[in-house]
Homo-oligomer: A and B are copies of this chain.
Amino acid sequence: MLEHYMKWYEYSLEALGYTVVNARFFDGIRRIVILGMGGSGIVGDIIASIAAESEYPVYVYKDFYIPSNIIDGTTFVLSISYSGNTLETILSTKKALQHTKSVGVIASGGELIELAKRNGLPYIAIRSGLAPRSALPIMLVAAFNLLSTCGIELIAREELMKALDVLKNMDEAERTSRELFNFLKLSKLPLVVATLRYSALAVRIKNELNENSKIPVKVEILPELFHNDIVGWESAEFKDKALLVDSDLTYENKLIQFYAEYLKGLGIDTYILRLNGNVIERFLYGSLVIGITSIKLAQLRGLDPLQTKSISIYKQLLQELKEEIGRVAHSR
């Protein structure tokens, strides 16, 4: 699986060249809703962070349905599911289609691509055969590509292409991964902290440690954590490791630094993941580093990073509940 992370730069270039089928210009779009779960949904979270500087607000929903009040004639809905068979995403996309025809699809195949074909929706069929989480930059580039082709420019193509260069720094990524590996190797339940601006990266770090390394993780976001979570540690009996993600804003780094010192004072071992560049570069590079780290942690623990047994059990349950959930989700 490691080799797929190693090919992120190559995959990204490939994704830049994908064709958008049923491409057309969508007029009057003011906001974007992204539907997706897990390794596909995180792409939505990252896009939402990057788009904070654009003219389009982006909202991400991760459920079997979406509240009908979030979609109007100015909303573009983007559904992302690597397999194209994620029940949550299929049902919420069908729900969205009851309200609007401004829907696009990113998937490697499955029911979502069929749905796109049947409804004449713009879609990109991306490279198949990977674990969704190791296809992160493919889905990210494809999403920007599809949106831009439909007239929704969240980031200039040149800026995106320049940002992808960070995926070429494999030596540096492996060096940072080694540090992170050493920091996390004995951790039983690390705390991952980021500012709201980088919350999607904190969640990505968690998800990679969950799926690849089989380690539970607690994520907390500042400044909100200073209003409650910080108090939880005052008399805590459980103390492990805290990984903090730095920011491109100076004052946010002062808050990160303050919290690292505060936690250290309580006997919690801390590490600040220092990144460079702009928001998108930090997301890409940070994701690459944690991808490599989480694979190595799995190997250390004698576990297969690719296998996710418990998700298979969940998917079996969904087979049984599919009809019932579909009925309720449709009527909500």
Contacts and interface: CB of A to CB of B under 8 A. Distances in A.
Interface of A: 30, 37-39, 41, 51-57, 59, 62-64, 67, 69-70, 72, 88, 188-189, 196-197, 206-207, 209-211, 214-218, 221, 223-224, 226-238, 240, 249-251, 254-255, 258, 262, 301, 303, 308-311, 313-314, 317, 321, 324-325, 328
19 contacts: A38-B224, A51-B69, A56-B69, A62-B221, A188-B236, A207-B228, A210-B229, A210-B230, A211-B228, A214-B232, A214-B234, A216-B238, A227-B311, A230-B310, A233-B310, A235-B301, A254-B317, A255-B321, A258-B317
Contacts of A233: 216, 310
B227 A215 contact: no
User: What is the copy number of this chain in the assembly?
Assistant: 2
A324 B251 contact: yes
B251 A189 contact: no
A232 B210 contact: yes
Given A69-B54, A236-B215, A328-B251, A210 B231 contact: yes
Contacts of A52: 67, 69
Nearest to A33: B57
A328 B325 CA distance: 46
Contact of A230 (B56, B262, B311): B311
A30 B71 CA distance: 11
Contacts of A209: 232
Nearest to A259: B314
Nearest to A301: B235
B236 A64 contact: no
Nearest to A39: B227
B88 A223 contact: yes
A71 B59 CA distance: 14
A189 B238 contact: yes
A254 B321 contact: yes
B229 A216 contact: yes
